[in-house]
Amino acid sequence: MTDVYLTRHGQTIWNVEWRMQGLKNSPLTEKGIADAESLRSRLLEIPFSKCFTSPMPRAVHTAHILIGDRHVPLIIDSALAEMDLGIWEGVRAEDAKKSDPEVFYNFRNRPDLYVPVSGGESFKDVVARAAAFIKELESLPDGTAPVLAVTHCILLQAIVMICDHRDISTLRSGQEVDQTKLFHLQWDHRKWRVLIRNQ
């Protein structure tokens, strides 16, 4: 049995400004830091064996807050990086919507129909990375203590979609993912169960 606790990074400046971040970054806000500290207090009794994190600085910062002064190894895992949004990165969502309303609609509502903007990833690419991370978790030795992971909205949606055995068309609509909210997944060597969602 393997227990995995996942969360999305804390609120950032670009989140407040409704800018699309992707592989670019903006720092955590005071609220983002405070929310991560609040989540840390909820996790104190869980004896984590390791913490995986996206390489994005906003996720790494969140992971450091969650670990605090505990001696928990921090592992940077590129599979947990946010979706590459190409030329949309740093652009306000409303401007992306105005410039290409059909593509933006598909990005938000129909991931199965979304065609990446220049230089970006498809949702199939994201699901492949999420699946690779899940396989990595499945390969952990039996009896591994609980694992923590810090990632991003779309990556977490993809992970939960896979565990739920849903179609890619539901990736964006099937599960809300708020910042610094907790997901608890459990692997029993046969199937994944989602025990806690967005709490």
Residues annotated as catalytic (active site), given as ranges: 9, 82
Measure CA 77 to chain center: 12
Q: Are 75 and 51 a contacting pair, CB within 8 Å?
A: yes
**What DSSP letter does each residue of the chain carry, written as one string?**
-EEEEEEEPPPBHHHHTTB--TTS--PBPHHHHHHHHHHHHHHTTS--SEEEE-SSHHHHHHHHHHHTTS---EEE-GGGSPPP-GGGTTSBHHHHHHH-HHHHHHHHH-TTT--PPTT---HHHHHHHHHHHHHHHHTSPTTPPPEEEEE-HHHHHHHHHHHHT--GGGTTTS----TT-EEEEEE-SS-EEEEE---
